[in-house]
Amino acid sequence: WEVGVGLGALSRPCVRGADRSRTDITPVPYVQYRGEYLRVDEEGMRTYIFRGDNTRLDFSLAGGIPVPSGDIIARRGMPSLSPTVEIGPSLEFLLWYPEKRDRALWLKLPMRAALSVDWRNIEYQGWVFAPYLDYRISRKALAGPWTMTFSLGPQFADKRYHDYFYEVESAYATAARPEYHPDAGYSGSRITIGMQKWLGSYWLGAFLRYDDLHGAVFSDSPLVEQQHYYAIGAAIIKLLAVSKNPEQNP
């Protein structure tokens, strides 16, 4: 395990499709745990249900930030969106791993149930299926200090999930915001590029993501103000402590 603390900055739309972006600078906890069954790293927290040479089944966790209705002009007068937690299995296949072991190509198939969470209750908000290709290049392959990742893939969700973010019920309809009820299906695609490296006890990382909503089943919602956008983030972490047996960490 490894523990540290640092500072991060993240700029992204308040919600997918919104034309207003939000930039936050915040303290960042750094936790890496590499156990036999439980792992915590840059991909989140996950439990290995099954691990083979080229196949593994994880149990993973992700989350989303709250969205006050006043932050987005198109949502003003509507209820705010609570923070979300997504949890579920991910089936993963190693497609390519050369003899040099300096890069790898994975196909990852996460299926997660979404929950909205506030101080009063937890409510199921549908499911999300987001398959993607994940290509990782090690420092050895790049002949430098950086490790890089490239990922791309579509996203699909059921009607309930789309309703949570893009539905306009009759009670909140206006002349500029007509009543709208999205269907289940395609939710857009995204491409993400990430890079990270160590400088002594300091970790540096950054990512850039492009999200395209053209063709999404909710793209004609009055709450969708743009069909594509970018998100960018960076962080610097100071490592504070490591386990006594780091040689066991792969």
Give, as one character, the DSSP assignment of residue 183.
-
What pLDDT digit, counting tens, does each position of 137-172 carry? 987 777 678 899 999 999 999 999 999 999 999 999
Assess whether pLDDT exceeds 70 at residue 183: yes
Neighbours of 91 (CB within 10 A): 16
**Where is 240: in which H helix or E strand?**
strand 228-242
Dump pLDDT digits (tens) for 4-25: 999 999 998 888 998 888 888 9
Whole-angstrom distance, CA of residue 208 vs CA of residue 133 = 16
Distance CA 248, CA 234 (A): 29
Which ranges of the chain would DSSP assign to H, the alpha helix?
139-142, 159-166
Across residues 21-31, what is the average pLDDT? 88
The pLDDT > 90 percentage for the chain reads: 61
Q: What's CA 153's distance to the chain center, in Å?
A: 12
Q: What does the DSSP assignment read for 102-113?
A: SEEEEEEEEEEE
Q: What are the structure tokens assigned to 89, written together?
A: 């299995």
Q: What is the pLDDT of residue 217?
A: 98
Q: What pLDDT does residue 250 have? A: 35
Q: Quick one: average pLDDT of 45-62?
A: 78
Report the pLDDT value the prediction gives residue 32, as an integer from 0 to 100: 83
pLDDT digits (tens, 9 = 90+) for 199-212: 989 999 999 999 99
